[in-house]
């Protein structure tokens, strides 16, 4: 009996050891599988990143004019965004003329300054004055030209014409603001409105030319 009991105990011990070995093998297999999956994921990420770099490199390996032409197309897609401030200024300019015609020069002057988009001289010590003194560009129209003409050479006639239109627009808005706020004849103010409206249209045409759109 003692011998049989010893045999049974030895048999149980062997079964227990075998179970432990199988469990260890299972854990090892799972760890190995997880490790392989992680490696595959890492490899896939690396391949994707490499592919993206290759695509980008191919996109910009079209010669000297390749990237420039691509950027021009991107600018054309943002043309509407660049032209919105001009359209809003035109609307406010028209409203300002109606207010002035209704004998409300104060409100007309306020709308004119809004339509000018921080491009006319401001009161000394104001926030806009301080910003301009620190080199911050506050004139929206000037920012529009810089953006639209950034891909053109400085000697490009289209760019030169756009900047001339900008300066003319600023002068027109400045003169209009002074005409409305100063004791000027209605005829002179009406002429100033007409000149500013025309200058705004010329400026818009210059922006469109820089962007290469009709």
What are the residue ranges in the chain where pLDDT is below 50? 1-12, 14-16, 18-64
pLDDT for 184 equals 79
Which pLDDT score is estimated for 76? 80
Tell me, what's the pLDDT at 131? Answer: 60
Burial label for 192, CB within 10 Å (0-12, 13-18, 19+), is buried
Can you give the pLDDT at residue 129? 58
Name the 3-class secondary structure at 175.
helix
Residue spans of the domains in the chain: they are 71-211
DSSP assignment of 88-119 equals HHHHHHHHHHHHHHTT-HHHHHHHHHHHTTT-
In this prediction, residue 20 carries a pLDDT of: 43
């Amino acid at each position: 009996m003692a011998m049989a009991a010893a045999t049974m105990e030895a048999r149980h011990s062997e079964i227990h050891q075998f179970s432990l070995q199988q469990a260890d093998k299972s854990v090892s297999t799972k760890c190995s599988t997880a490790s392989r999956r992680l490696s595959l994921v890492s490899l896939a990420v690396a391949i994707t990143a490499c592919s993206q770099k290759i695509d980008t490199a191919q996109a910009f390996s079209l010669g000297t004019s390749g990237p420039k032409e691509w950027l021009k197309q991107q600018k054309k897609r943002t043309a509407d965004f660049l032209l919105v401030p001009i359209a809003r200024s035109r609307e406010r300019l028209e409203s300002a003329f109606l207010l002035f015609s209704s004998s409300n020069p104060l409100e007309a002057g306020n709308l004119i300054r809004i339509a000018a988009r921080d491009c006319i001289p401001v009161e000394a010590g104001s926030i806009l004055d301080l910003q301009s003194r620190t080199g911050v560009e506050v004139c929206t129209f000037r920012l529009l030209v810089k953006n639209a003409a950034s891909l053109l050479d400085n000697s490009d006639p289209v760019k030169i014409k756009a900047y001339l239109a900008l300066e003319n627009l600023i002068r027109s808005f400045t003169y209009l603001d002074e005409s409305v706020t100063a004791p000027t004849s209605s005829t002179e103010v009406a002429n100033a409105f007409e000149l500013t409206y025309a200058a705004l249209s010329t400026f818009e045409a210059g922006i469109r030319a820089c962007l290469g759109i009709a």
